[in-house]
Amino acid sequence: MIPSVNPSGSDTRGLLYYLYETGKYEDHTDPHLVASFDGMSPDPGRDPNATLKDLQQLLDQPVMALAKHARPAKHVWHTSVRADPGDRILSDEEWADIARRIVAATGIDPGDGQPGCRWAAVRHAEDHIHIVATLVTEDGHRPDDFRSGARAQAEARLIEKELGLHQVAPGDGTAAQRPTSAERHKAERQGRERTAREELREAVRRAVAGARSDEEFFDRLAAVGLLIRKRAAPSGDLLGYKVALPDDLNKDGEPVFYPGARLAPDLSLPRIRERWAGEAQDVPAARREDAIRTGPGSPAAARRGTASAVWQAVLVVEHGEDAVAAAHIAAAGEVLDALAKTSAAHTRRELRDAATAFERASRSHVRAIRGHDRALRQAARNLVQGGPALGRGEDGATTAMAIDMLFFLITAAAHWHARKGHAQQAEAATRAAEHLRTAYQTAAAQPLGVLYQRGRRLGPMLQRQTVLLREALPELAEQILAEPGWYALAATLAEAEAAGHDPAALLSDVAGRRELGTADSISDVLVWRMRRTADLPADASHLPETSTARSRSAARGTPTRPSAPGGRRSGEETSRKPR
């Protein structure tokens, strides 16, 4: 049950008109009062003799009783209280009791003989009510409604338990501000899928991903067409910023600007600067110069690099210090944003939904120490600079590889938040992981299909790979052999051997580095880990079959492990644990 408090308005009549309007909104059916401050307020929805003006005048009476100069400019308090989609349909009597508990908890009408405000609760849909109140008590004072939003949320958690409704995870004050009812209805009128606030939040997040300076950040905002206002001190130092959509206008035809901090707590300018300030302090000067000289690579190279950075980040989140883990979790959000921005159309929607869901998981009261997350931030930067990826070939296959690795990082983040008692963040990360699972299935279908066919054509070599699997991973072998992905893994093992690696050592190494319990298909995970670690092409569709003379000689027992450049044998590198 979600209360959404909007504490300041100035037009009681206009709000009532919206609540009772049935012609414009599909969910506005049978609007009527379920409760009010006196239990007998006029109901324009059910009483043919009652008007909106009657109800408005009754609610506004304590306000109008004040001297004109003493009337508050914004005297209208409004909240919607919405049930979860999975909840049963509540009766009018139950909604009435909920309304009375919400106004008491928020200080609007505290009861127990204390003076309260006038209010009315309107139900115009099955799943929610609206409560409108005027912020002057019967004795002419301002109500004690400080932190009314937080108080409404706390009462909602109690109501959920008592009525057996879906229990919403308690928040910790680090969530982004929800769109107001007015913003949602404005988006509906304009035919927008999302509110301006939500569109701006996503645009700013994407502009931050991998950015390294104020200038780069604002250039990115301007490049996507946002209007920008900067706030400077008398000294000229930049203090903050606001952004607006060019076509989101107020009643005077002016753009509606949102400060970064009102989009999300970590999108204020000081908090954004922490990302690249920590990076500049932590990265040696020579490393920074190398990064500047390195131009944008291909989308496939950026994705392969992302997979490597994410692979290392999982270990940090699982075993690192809290502040360092928090930095990596926040940076994972930047990687998701950058990947969603640059991926092909068939995976873009699920990746965008994953990034949007994970946004809530990227913040908590554990303050991140930035700088340690530079590898992930560099990965996000490379994704942006690498540009849009195709949905096929090496681009498509490395996208699947990166998503596969990200799934484990986001799952590790969910477990980290759960251990810390961050219920909302853990739930958000879990939702993001489900979107990644769907995106992976789409991205991996073609490249794994190619490997599957290659594995089926291995012939006698398949038996060799089966023996190798049982020797390297005896505890997992039978489960892997029963998976459809086994053929793709067998093809990868043969390809790794043909490239000069020790496939048994490689397989044992990649299986032991991270957990496999959350994987839908262990063989799929091992395919991507092996191809990344052994530097095999992610897309095998243009490679020759692996039943080469080298593979045949290996089948006869002839050793085939040539030295890598520098005199080191290839298998020695891949069997090494990460530092």
- What contacts 45, CB < 8 A, 6 or more positions away? 20, 30, 31, 32, 33, 122, 124
Query: Does 182 map to a domain?
Result: no
What distance in Å separates the CA atoms of residue 368 and residue 374, rounded to the nearest whole number?
13
Which amino acid makes up residue 60?
Answer: D
Q: Is the separation of the CB atoms in 12 and 76 below 8 Å?
A: yes
Strand, helix or coil for residue 158:
helix
Same domain, 34 and 158: yes
User: How would you classify the pairing of strands 76-82 and 128-134?
Assistant: antiparallel
What distance in Å separates the CA atoms of residue 375 and residue 423, rounded to the nearest whole number?
28
- What contacts 550, CB < 8 A, 6 or more positions away? 497, 498, 560
Compute the chain's Rg from CA coordinates. 29
Query: Does 327 map to a domain?
Result: yes
Domain count along the chain: 3
Same domain, 137 and 280: no
- What contacts 207, CB < 8 A, 6 or more positions away? 217, 220, 221, 224
Q: What is the pLDDT of residue 566?
A: 36
Q: What is the pLDDT of residue 283?
A: 46
User: How would you classify the pairing of strands 118-125 and 227-232?
Assistant: unpaired
What distance in Å separates the CA atoms of residue 130 and residue 152, rounded to the nearest whole number?
13
For 47-88, the pLDDT digits (tens) are 999 999 999 999 999 999 999 999 998 999 999 999 988 999
Matching residue, tokens 């006698």: 460
Q: Which two tokens stand for residue 78?
A: 């409004």
Give residue 123's pLDDT band: very low, low, confident or very high (50, 70, 90): very high
Give residue 25's pLDDT band: very low, low, confident or very high (50, 70, 90): low
Give residue 142's pLDDT band: very low, low, confident or very high (50, 70, 90): very high
What distance in Å separates the CA atoms of residue 100 and residue 378, rounded to the nearest whole number?
52
Question: Highest mean pLDDT range out of 166-180, 234-248, 533-547?
Answer: 234-248
Same domain, 396 and 462: no
In terms of Cα–Cα distance, which of 356, 425, 8, 361 is closest to 180? 8
Same domain, 277 and 405: yes
Torsion of CA 88, 426, 343, 308, to 10 degrees: -160
Q: Which two tokens stand for residue 232?
A: 């400077």
- Average pLDDT of the chain? 88
Which of 447, 482, 497 is where one domain is finished?
447
Matching residue, tokens 């008692």: 421
Same domain, 443 and 533: no
- CA 351 vs. chain centroid, Å, equals 9
Give the domain CATH number at 87. Answer: 3.30.930
What distance in Å separates the CA atoms of residue 457 and residue 484, rounded to the nearest whole number?
14
Query: Does 178 map to a domain?
Result: no
Same domain, 326 and 263: yes
Same domain, 136 and 246: no
User: H helices within 109-224, ranges in order?
Assistant: 148-163, 181-190, 196-208, 214-223
Residue 268 CA: distances (Å) to CA of 256, 261, 423: 17, 4, 24
Terminal-residue alpha carbon distance, the chain: 46
What distance in Å separates the CA atoms of residue 409 and residue 85, rounded to the nearest whole number?
30
Question: Highest mean pLDDT range out of 184-198, 218-232, 552-566?
Answer: 218-232
| Region of poorest pLDDT, from 23-32, 360-369, 470-479 | 23-32
Residue 144 CA: distances (Å) to CA of 6, 9, 70, 136, 147: 15, 17, 17, 10, 9
Query: Does 190 map to a domain?
Result: no
Q: What share of the chain is helix, strand, coil (3-state, %, to 5)?
A: 55, 10, 35
For 387-420, the pLDDT digits (tens) are 999 989 999 999 999 999 999 999 999 999 999 9
Query: Does 187 map to a domain?
Result: no
Q: How many CA atoms lie within 13 A of 188 on its CB side?
A: 11
Range list of β-strands (E), 21-75: 32-36
Residue-range definition of the domain harbouring residue 515: 457-574
Same domain, 382 and 443: yes
Same domain, 368 and 307: yes
What distance in Å separates the CA atoms of residue 500 and residue 394, rounded to the nearest whole number?
22
What distance in Å separates the CA atoms of residue 349 and residue 339, rounded to the nearest whole number?
11
What distance in Å separates the CA atoms of residue 353 and residue 410, rounded to the nearest whole number?
14
- What contacts 27, CB < 8 A, 6 or more positions away? 124, 125
Query: Once rounded to an integer, what is the mean pLDDT over residues 237-248?
Result: 95
Same domain, 36 and 7: yes
For 430-458, the pLDDT digits (tens) are 999 999 999 999 999 999 999 999 999 99
Query: Does 179 map to a domain?
Result: no
User: How would you classify the pairing of strands 118-125 and 128-134?
Assistant: antiparallel
Which of 168, 188, 219 is where one domain is finished?
168
For 469-481, the pLDDT digits (tens) are 999 999 999 999 9
Query: Once rounded to an integer, what is the mean pLDDT over residues 8-32?
Result: 84
Strand, helix or coil for residue 568:
coil
Q: Is the separation of the CB atoms in 571 and 506 below 8 Å?
A: yes
What distance in Å separates the CA atoms of residue 574 and residue 514, rounded to the nearest whole number?
15
Same domain, 433 and 568: no
Query: Does 346 map to a domain?
Result: yes
Q: What is the DSSP letter of 258?
A: E
Same domain, 399 and 474: no
Q: Which two tokens stand for residue 10?
A: 């100035």
Q: Which two tokens stand for residue 158?
A: 């109690």
Neighbours of 545 (CB within 10 A): 15
Phi and psi at 504, nearest 5°, equal -65, -45
In terms of Cα–Cα distance, which of 126, 119, 127 is closest to 30? 126
Phi and psi at 77, nearest 5°, equal -105, 135
Q: What is the pLDDT of residue 168?
A: 83
Q: Is the separation of the CB atoms in 337 and 206 below 8 Å?
A: yes
Q: Is the separation of the CB atoms in 365 and 424 below 8 Å?
A: no
What distance in Å separates the CA atoms of residue 153 and residue 160, rounded to the nearest whole number?
11
The per-residue DSSP string of 226-254 comes to: -EEEEEE-TTS-EEEEEEE-TT-B-TTS-
Query: Once rounded to an integer, what is the mean pLDDT over residues 135-160?
Result: 92
User: H helices within 503-545, ranges in order?
Assistant: 503-513, 522-533
Query: Does 175 map to a domain?
Result: no
The residue count of the chain comes to: 579
Q: What is the pLDDT of residue 557?
A: 44
Check residues 423 and 28 and name the one with the higher pLDDT: 423
What distance in Å separates the CA atoms of residue 256 and residue 6, rounded to the nearest whole number?
18
For 505-532, the pLDDT digits (tens) are 999 999 987 778 778 899 999 999 999 9
Which of 447, 468, 493 is where one domain is finished?
447
Q: Is the pLDDT of residue 289 over 70?
A: no
Q: In degrees, to the nearest 5, what angle opens at C-alpha 53 toward C-alphas 52 and 58? A: 100
